[in-house]
Amino acid sequence: METASAIPVPLPTPNPVAVPADGVDCPVSGEPAVDFAGLKTKLQSYLKPEDVARVEAAYEFSASAHEGQFRISGEPYVSHPVAVTGIVADWHLDPQALIAALLHDVMEDTHISKQEIAERFGKTAAELVDGLSKLDKMEFRSQEEAQAENFRKMLLAMASDLRVILIKLADRLHNMRTLECVRPAKRRRIANETLEIYAPIANRLGLNTLFRELQELSFEHKFPMRYRALSKAIKAARGNRREVIGKVLKSVDERLPQWNITADVQGREKHLFSIYRKMVEKRLSFSQVLDIYGLRVIVQDVPSCYLAIGALHSMYKPVPGKFKDYIALPKANGYQSLHTTLIGPFGTPVEIQVRTAEMHHIAESGVASHWLYKDDEKTLTELQQKTHSWLQSLLELQSTSGEATEFLEHVKVDLFPSEVYVFTPQGRILSLPKGSTPVDFAYAVHTDIGNRCVACRVNNDLMPLRTELRNGDQVEIITAAHANPNPAWLSYVRTGKARAQIRHFLKGAQHEESVTLGERLLNQALRVYGLTLGQISTFAWDRFLRDRGVKSKKEILSDIGLGSRLPAIVARRLSHAQDQESGRPDVIKPKPASAILISGSEGIAVQLAPCCQPIPGDPIIGLIRKGKGLEVHRHDCTAIAKLRGDRGRWVDVEWEHSHGRMFDVTMRVLTKEARGVLARVASAISDADCNIQNVTMDQEQGIYTALNLTVQVRDRMHLALVMRAVRRVPEVLRIGRLKSDGRVG
């Protein structure tokens, strides 16, 4: 354990300005005494005297640093860090964590620096306080971005030291307990943030008691009227339903000893937020939610858990499909228990949980069990491994996520896992969020497996990659050496890791392709000045980059390819710099710029517009769209008519002679209503060596049918052959190519 400097610790100069804790002006209602004595008694129950003295020195330092500052309720501000420290002391955290809890706001709200904390209380405490401090001195574009960046800092600090998040959760819990003094709008915002971030993190770490209290407090402050109405309804129903649970409790107490099971049986009431969520998700009224009471049975060992379930099922009928074995398949946060629902007296369902005392400790305290209960080393080691695995996944998400908001989005995805358990071909069990697909499974196994995934087998049957996995499925991933992630995967993957890795790959691919496209566009623009990209000197490039504060030529080319810079402007400025170096007069040398050749298979940076579906042989024009690259349209596309005046974004493009791929195009075919007409049209298309991608049908005035057929053709000539073949079908009245405005032409 790290030692700090000698005690007593010299105190900082008091802060002369009184600042409310949350930055909102408010009246001060006095200075009630801060109960450090109660905290000290709690610390003496498990810490050595010298450690208690170090924590007391940190309290004196914190009290002096926060002198003159008050909470919005009027209490001295130091009462807050003392309360937070009391919460983490309940988990028996070590002295460094307790010191950090007492000092967690001094870097934000006072002049105290990280270096000063390190000198007085040790490097570890300083690192913990730094991980808990917000990034107030940085400038952000929005409140959301600032909040996301603060969360990213906190979560990454947590990945290196779990005590950071434990202190932060205790901090949030005390703030939620004292939220009444905050104005209603801010109260709702903080409550919503707690529900979306802090409560799920507490759940992910197995801190069940904390998780439930954060949910209840958030519900009370986010929806105060609903909370009060539901509280009133539960109190009214409590008398009748308590009679039912009393009968079940008595029966269980009598039955278990008959099976030689020693157990502690407890009645429990479902939390308000759980009832409310069930009402919302299943669209039930309160009277329809019958299982607001349950039982918890705590036994001596694992065999007794299964024996107790047998005894309970012999008393009351179990509800089919409601038995869950979290002992054989623990949750990701280490939670273990057997769950069953029984039909009790008067047909009332009763939820029952059966677990051992060790499982109960972990269910209530999660990773805090590492400090609280050190007797069950095997279970704690498994829990620590799972937690470590999740923390490592945060670091991996950080490395693949660009913006802080994107990182937070990926983390949020993983914080709401209603889990399914699936098997690898070797029999290893993987836990995934509900709704996960084989693509999520592939990335969970390994990033390279996900990136090279092309197909899958689920329970030995070939299935689409978008298939939703179910409990017990065995999944095998088929890979190919040259396969790459598909952008379409983002529409159905569920895990943060899969989403982050796909986006990371696509961004890298887009960057390389945009650089290549940028070179082609800039070369075309330079030809007007009688130059090529290879003729631009290092001097001209350096001057251009220096004037614009850009680090590399690749960044400029990528910006051009993505539409963030116009090639004509870059070309003019590069030409001017080149002329200044060579001493040539700065005049434009007009020359025809050759068109950029399009094959249709360039990748992400060059896209064929879906509105008009250009194919080889169509007259085309290129439009540089900001952030998207080059978009190729037909000349007569109505979707781009209003952009014709913005000449700087238009690029001359032509089709390459050998493109070697198929192109989608939609035809509209008007036919008479007749049996088998679709089959005859499809046969004609097939005879013309063409594949149908999609078909939709509309009935017009009862006697006509309009078929919208998306087909794959090589070029305009191939499309003409297909249309001629379809016209020969007797029932076809009219055929044409569907335009972007819905007309046929």
Active site residues: 108-109
What's at 457, amino acid-wise? Answer: R
Quick one: which of 554, 433, 421 has its CA closest to 497? Answer: 433
How far from chain centre, in Å, is Cα 311?
A: 43
Q: Coil, strand or helix: which one is 733?
A: strand
Distance separating alpha carbons of residues 455 and 441, to the nearest angstrom: 12
Retrieve residue 526's tokens: 């330079």
- Paired strand residues for 453: 479
Centre a 10 Å sphere on the Cβ of residue 486 and count the other Cβ atoms it contains. 14
How far from chain centre, in Å, is Cα 264?
A: 40
Burial bucket for residue 200 (CB in 10 Å: 0-12, 13-18, 19+): buried
Centre a 10 Å sphere on the Cβ of residue 495 and count the other Cβ atoms it contains. 24
Distances (CA, A) of 314 to 86, 273, 298, 550, 694: 45, 32, 18, 75, 56
Distance separating alpha carbons of residues 191 and 180, to the nearest angstrom: 12
Q: Coil, strand or helix: which one is 631?
A: strand
Residue 444 and residue 430 in contact, taking contact as beta carbons nearer than 8 Å: yes
Q: Coil, strand or helix: which one is 475?
A: strand
Residue 108 and residue 135 in contact, taking contact as beta carbons nearer than 8 Å: no
Characterize the bridge pairing of strands 324-325 and 338-343.
Answer: antiparallel
Q: Coil, strand or helix: which one is 611?
A: coil
Longest Cα–Cα distance of the chain, Å, equals 106
Distance separating alpha carbons of residues 393 and 415, to the nearest angstrom: 12
Retrieve residue 63's tokens: 């009290």
Q: Coil, strand or helix: which one is 422?
A: strand
What's at 333, amino acid-wise? Answer: N
HSE value, Cβ hemisphere, 13 Å, CA-based, for 250: 7
HSE value, Cβ hemisphere, 13 Å, CA-based, for 677: 20
Which residues lie below 8 Å from residue 3, measured CB to CB, with a gap of 6+? 122
Residue 270 and residue 293 in contact, taking contact as beta carbons nearer than 8 Å: yes
Helices (H), 184-343: 184-193, 199-204, 208-222, 224-258, 272-282, 302-315
Q: How many residues are given for the chain?
A: 745
Distance separating alpha carbons of residues 73 and 26, to the nearest angstrom: 8
